[in-house]
Amino acid sequence: MSNTINAGVAAVKVLEEWGVKHIYGIPGGSINSFMDALLHEKDEITYIQVRHEEVGAMAASMHAKFTGHIGVAFGSAGPGGTHLLNGLYDAREDHVPVLAIVGQFATTGMNMDTFQEMNENPIYADVAVYNRTVTTAEQLPHIIDEAIRQAYAKNGVAVVQLPVDLGTKEIPSQAFYSAANAYRKLPRPSLHFADIESAVEILENSEKTVIYAGIGARGAGDDIVALARKIKAPVAVTGIAYDVFDSDFEGLLGSANRVAIKPANDAFPNADTVLFVGNNYPFAEVTNVFENVKNFIQIDLNPANLGKRHHNDVTILGDAGDAIREITRQISEKAETPWWRANLLNIQNWRDYVTKLETKTAGNLQLYQVYHQINQHAAADAIFSIDVGDVTQTSVRHLHLNPKQMWRTSNLFATMGIGIPGAITAKLDFPNRQVWNLAGDGGFNMVMQDLATQVQYNLPIINLVFSNQQFGFIKDEQEDTNSGYFGVEFAGVEFAKIADAMGAKGYTLTRLADAKTVFEHALADVANGLTVLIDAKISTDRPIPVESLILDDKIHTAADIAAFRKRYEAEDLVPFADFLKAEGIEPEYKATDLGGF
Ligand code: FAD
Ligand code: MG
């Protein structure tokens, strides 16, 4: 047995020990020793050649969101590395582990302003929890191992700069080092029972409670539903936490603000108590969402987030499921309450509204009917990679999600273009599951070159582009805040032709009457292993702004209400105040403050 090992190969073997299966990137002179190591190890780890490093880094970040495991991407010195940054910031903002390996000129030319050579550490200093340049070949495997441990421990981005010559060197076999077998997650903290008792006391004495779940409640959906039904408290979610629950749970209020639905925006101003579970809602302080709330109870695992978004009356450090189950065990059951009934009716009224839009059979093709087709064809465990823009909002309104499915996007950094890379990694990670990329034409335009990557790796993904020749989400903001539209409309693209030219199967859907057939053909193609794209040429109708509803005659004129109802096809939408009054509850009238938008 040889008592030396190639340093680059040793680095790749560390990745293998940590269970890394795919690595995304583009070669370059400054990263070629690493490419040689990947060639050597190609049976153990699969290199995915993307068409832009940004897509590689976003795929790595989305891999971490879909699987919980570290994602790995690389780029060459200078531009190859800086192209990674959007994906790396996405991982940083969503607190998921990603490792980036960035090329560097050989040590012989470092610090001498040679080609593509610069001091790279400052570039990544802000995005990374760990950021080092390798200086000897012997260090290389150790630094990769350290980077992975740090990324996992700190839920963030680790960046390793690798001078190209060091990857070519032979090092003693003993220098290979991996701590993968020592990896452990921190145990869940044990609950502090006095806090649970305080929470139970408040919840028993509150009449209008909302349980407000974030993605920290993943896996605890059934437990929360059991508590909700026991204490008659409807459940709101953050915009990214819909798949924690079955979409047909009768008490699901949905999310608040703009990526939102009416029932949640209605409920908060009228609630007296909020049970904030695994939730770090970033609009809390900058909007008036909790203005009328008297009791605030928080359950969170991360001490740094306790009390962060609102003053807590009760603080429970712990796992969402553990705490919810314990509260449910201790709390007494409430009989049906006016609050529960009013919210259930409001939720049902909203559901009737969206169903009516989705199932229209006449008129222009709107996004709603496209979602109807998606719901008809989505597998019970489908994976949705969601781009940023109107599609973020409309997908949570119209997809019938459940906890066996996965819905993931760029949550807080909110970078456009995340749909394609997310779908690539989802299909590689879960080859037997149905994978959708849902994108607007704005987001798709930014990364569409990587449709070629889906084809190159034979990934049967359904790419759905909602084409309306505009940045719809921003256009709607401009309608509300600006003197006119500017920079939000653009020339259309025949995406189906691009798909065909790249070797995928493209469909253009323009007429509502064709929707069913187009989806049937597209889904058949996917079943036959093809990459598919459906370019749905939808109307430019604005989705209803649930943050500024004009429905209530106590606040708005009859003419304004009529115009609003007509524009948003909302003839049957009932003001929440009506449901509350019918139950004997005096409604709070208050405009939503969008907090700077
Ligand atoms: P995170 O911010 O990830 O917080 C999760 C919390 O759970 C953390 O505090 C964590 O410590 C805790 N936690 C983790 N595990 C556990 C556990 N086991 N037990 C207990 N606690 C745990 N969202 C909206 O709600 N409304 C909007 O209008 C909205 N607009 C958006 C617009 C766009 C274009 C995009 C892309 C996103 C938008 N979002 C919106 C999403 C928003 O940016 C935030 O990402 C989201 O609200 C944060 O959700 P979260 O608090 O569930 O997740
Ligand atoms: Mg658009």
pLDDT tens by residue, 128-138: 999 999 999 99
Mean pLDDT for the chain?
Answer: 97
- What is the atom index within ligand 1 of the atom nearest the CA of 241? 52
CB of 420 within 6 A of ligand 1: the answer is no
CB of 411 within 6 A of ligand 1: the answer is yes
Ligand 1 center to 275 CA (angstroms): 15
Determine whether 179 is exposed, middle or buried from the number of CB atoms within 10 Å of its CB (0-12, 13-18, 19+). middle
Ligand 2 center to 470 CA (angstroms): 4
Start-end of CATH 3.40.50.970 domains in the chain: 4-182, 365-537
Ligand 2 center to 38 CA (angstroms): 39
Model pLDDT, residue 1: 58
- C-alpha torsion 563→567→569→571, nearest 10: -10
Could you report the predicted ipTM of this complex, rounded to two decimals? 0.99
Quick one: which ligand is closest to 465's CA? 2
d(CA 402, CA 246): 4
Ligand 2 center to 456 CA (angstroms): 27
Model pLDDT, residue 596: 54
Q: Whose CA is nearest to atom 29 of ligand 1?
A: 259
Model pLDDT, residue 520: 98
CB of 238 within 6 A of ligand 1: the answer is yes
Beta-bridge mates of residue 507:
534
* Residues that are catalytic: 53, 115-116, 258, 388, 473-474, 477
pLDDT-based confidence at residue 591 (cuts at 50, 70, 90): low
* Three-class secondary structure of residue 385 per DSSP: strand
Report pLDDT digits (tens) over 194-222: 999 999 999 999 999 999 999 999 999 99
Third-level CATH fold of 193-346: Rossmann fold (3.40.50)
For 301, other C-beta atoms within 10 Å of its C-beta total 17
d(CA 419, CA 340): 37
- What is the atom index within ligand 1 of the atom nearest the CA of 389? 34
CB of 215 within 6 A of ligand 1: the answer is yes
CB of 56 within 6 A of ligand 1: the answer is no
- What is the atom index within ligand 1 of the atom nearest the CA of 258? 28
Quote the pTM value. 0.98
Look up the CATH superfamily of 4-182. Thiamin diphosphate (ThDP)-binding fold, Pyr/PP domains (3.40.50.970)
- What is the atom index within ligand 1 of the atom nearest the CA of 95? 3
Ligand 1 center to 277 CA (angstroms): 11
pLDDT-based confidence at residue 461 (cuts at 50, 70, 90): very high
Ligand 1 center to 301 CA (angstroms): 14
Each as own residue / partner, the long-range contacts of residues 258-261 (CB below 8 Å, 24 or more positions apart, any chain) are 258/393, 258/545, 258/546, 258/547, 258/594, 258/597, 259/392, 259/393, 259/396, 260/393, 260/546, 260/547, 261/350, 261/396, 261/397, 261/546
Model confidence at 595: pLDDT above 80: no
- What is the atom index within ligand 1 of the atom nearest the CA of 255? 25
CB of 281 within 6 A of ligand 1: the answer is yes
Query: What is the mean predicted confidence (pLDDT) over 574-597?
Result: 84
**C-alpha dist (Å) from residue 161 to 81, 272, 477:** 9, 52, 41
d(CA 550, CA 374): 30
Look up the CATH superfamily of 365-537. Thiamin diphosphate (ThDP)-binding fold, Pyr/PP domains (3.40.50.970)
Ligand 2 center to 463 CA (angstroms): 15
CB of 319 within 6 A of ligand 1: the answer is yes
Model pLDDT, residue 2: 76
Residue type at 405 in one-letter notation: Q
pLDDT-based confidence at residue 589 (cuts at 50, 70, 90): confident
d(CA 390, CA 442): 10
Start-end of CATH 3.40.50.1220 domains in the chain: 193-346
CB of 320 within 6 A of ligand 1: the answer is yes
Model confidence at 592: pLDDT above 70: no
Element (DSSP H or E) covering residue 134: none
φ/ψ (deg, to 5) at 289: -60, -35
Mutate to test the pocket of ligand 1, among 412, 476, 548, 593 (most ligand atoms within 8 A of CB): 412
Ligand 1 center to 278 CA (angstroms): 8
- What is the atom index within ligand 1 of the atom nearest the CA of 299? 20
Half-sphere exposure of 464 (CA within 13 A, CB side): 28
Model confidence at 406: pLDDT above 80: yes
Model pLDDT, residue 178: 95
CB of 414 within 6 A of ligand 1: the answer is yes
d(CA 100, CA 574): 51
Closest CA to 258 of 581, 561, 479: 479
CB of 241 within 6 A of ligand 1: the answer is yes
**C-alpha dist (Å) from residue 84 to 22, 123, 447:** 16, 11, 13
Model confidence at 594: pLDDT above 80: no
Report pLDDT digits (tens) over 235-250: 999 999 999 999 999 9
- Are 74 and 56 in contact by the 8 Å Cβ rule? The answer is yes
pLDDT-based confidence at residue 457 (cuts at 50, 70, 90): very high
pLDDT-based confidence at residue 409 (cuts at 50, 70, 90): very high
Model confidence at 490: pLDDT above 80: yes
Report pLDDT digits (tens) over 42-71: 999 999 999 999 999 999 999 999 999 999
Quick one: which ligand is closest to 414's CA? 1
- Are 534 and 463 in contact by the 8 Å Cβ rule? The answer is yes
CB of 255 within 6 A of ligand 1: the answer is yes
Question: Which two tokens mark 18?
Answer: 């940590």
